[in-house]
Amino acid sequence: MLATTLTKGCSMRTFNIAIVVVVAAAALSCNRGAPEGSDKPTVALVLKTLNHPFFVDMRRGAQEAADRLGVTLQVQAAEREIDVEKQMQIVENMIQTGIDALAITPSGSREIVSALVKAKNAGIPIIVVDTRVDAAAAKDAGVEPRAFVGSDNYDGGRIAGDHVVEATGGKASVGILEGIPGHETGDSRLRGFRDAVAKQPGITIVASQPANWERDQGFNVFQNMLQAHPGIDTVFAASDLMALGAIEAIAAAGKTGKIRVVGFDALDDAKKAIAAGTMDASVAQFPAEMGRVAIESAVKVLRGEPLPADVKVKLELITKANVGGTQ
């Protein structure tokens, strides 16, 4: 009898231990991506780079939202904004380590789709930030981001073009510094700018070349552009880093104050240039706000709350008249 009782007791203890193990395993599975001992959801924010003030501000806004909402935020990015392959590797690695939601600023609107397919297959909701995913490529792959968070880049380009029309009285010889060819963000800004000036017969776009979002390329490309077209009196750069490079090329050519420069992003260095009079204007996008809204959107999705497909962040033209009142 004693042996039978002991056997039953051992069996019950074994059974209870087995239940605990199963429950613990289930809890870990439900909290995929959360640190050990934590029930916080984990949201990945994959940026184009962290070597650009725009994305540093975006990360800051995202972290503030994550702290407020009780979310574990993991942020990673490639060294260079144009390194699409590295960004794809980052996404795939994060999926393998375990995340609950993915917010991403695509370095390549089409290229990134193959990595997003893996997130979709893993049941991870996707929030696209700042740069849209190519709609046709996403549809073909069956990828459906839950939301896009960002400003209207076409409208931003149009705002820049309208400013050039007004500031020049509709007469200008324009050089354009483009972003990465085929990149939705730069292409939309370029299209908006071109449409805004198209009806002005006195405005001529004499040259338009990529400078790949980088300051040194902005300098080199515009220096060559200015040598080939010395009559350029206005520059539109699809980002402030390229615009700041153009300003350096203008100074090297001894033409400071003679060429109007309009940029995009309203970075701190651009605002300083506007205040100093070496830059005419820049279109502000508010990246910290994008980061904040991206994380808020991811949390809404995880909670099963409704979310609009497009969440717009405001744009504002910054000039010498209002640069002192911006942050």
Residue 262 and residue 235 in contact, taking contact as beta carbons nearer than 8 Å: yes
pLDDT at residue 1 greater than cutoff 50: no
- Domain ranges for the chain: 42-150+287-313, 153-284
What span, in angstroms and rounded, lies between the C-alpha atoms of 316 and 299?
28
pLDDT of residue 17: 37
Lookup: tokens for 239: 């980002």
pLDDT at residue 7 greater than cutoff 50: no
* Structure confidence by residue, pLDDT tens digits, 184-207: 899 999 999 999 999 999 999 999
Give the SS3 label for residue 262. Answer: strand
pLDDT of residue 182: 82
pLDDT of residue 311: 95
pLDDT of residue 27: 35
Lookup: tokens for 105: 């600023």
What span, in angstroms and rounded, lies between the C-alpha atoms of 264 and 178?
11
pLDDT of residue 326: 57
What span, in angstroms and rounded, lies between the C-alpha atoms of 76 and 86?
10
- The residue whose two tokens read 């991206």 is 294
User: Given the DSSP bridges, would you call strands 42-49 and 126-129 parallel, antiparallel or unpaired?
Assistant: unpaired
C-alpha triplet 182, 185, 188: angle, nearest 5°: 85
* pLDDT > 70: percent of the chain: 87
Identify the CATH class of 42-150+287-313: alpha beta
pLDDT of residue 324: 83
User: Candidates 3.40.30.10, 1.10.1030.10, 3.90.1150.10, 3.40.50.2300; correct CATH number of 153-284?
Assistant: 3.40.50.2300
In this prediction, residue 153 has a pLDDT band, given cuts at 50, 70 and 90, of: very high
pLDDT of residue 39: 80
In this prediction, residue 8 has a pLDDT band, given cuts at 50, 70 and 90, of: very low
pLDDT at residue 16 greater than cutoff 50: no
* Structure confidence by residue, pLDDT tens digits, 42-52: 999 999 999 99
pLDDT at residue 26 greater than cutoff 50: no
Range 158-187 average pLDDT: 95
pLDDT of residue 38: 57
* Structure confidence by residue, pLDDT tens digits, 266-297: 999 999 999 999 999 999 999 999 999 999 99
pLDDT of residue 229: 98
pLDDT at residue 212 greater than cutoff 50: yes
Give the SS3 label for residue 24. Answer: helix
pLDDT of residue 31: 37
pLDDT of residue 325: 66
Question: Picking from 10-24, 112-126, 213-227, which range would have the lowest pLDDT averaged per residue?
Answer: 10-24
* Structure confidence by residue, pLDDT tens digits, 77-136: 999 988 999 999 999 999 999 999 999 999 999 999 999 999 999 999 999 999 999 999
CB neighbour list of residue 37: distance below 8 Å, 6 or more residues apart = none
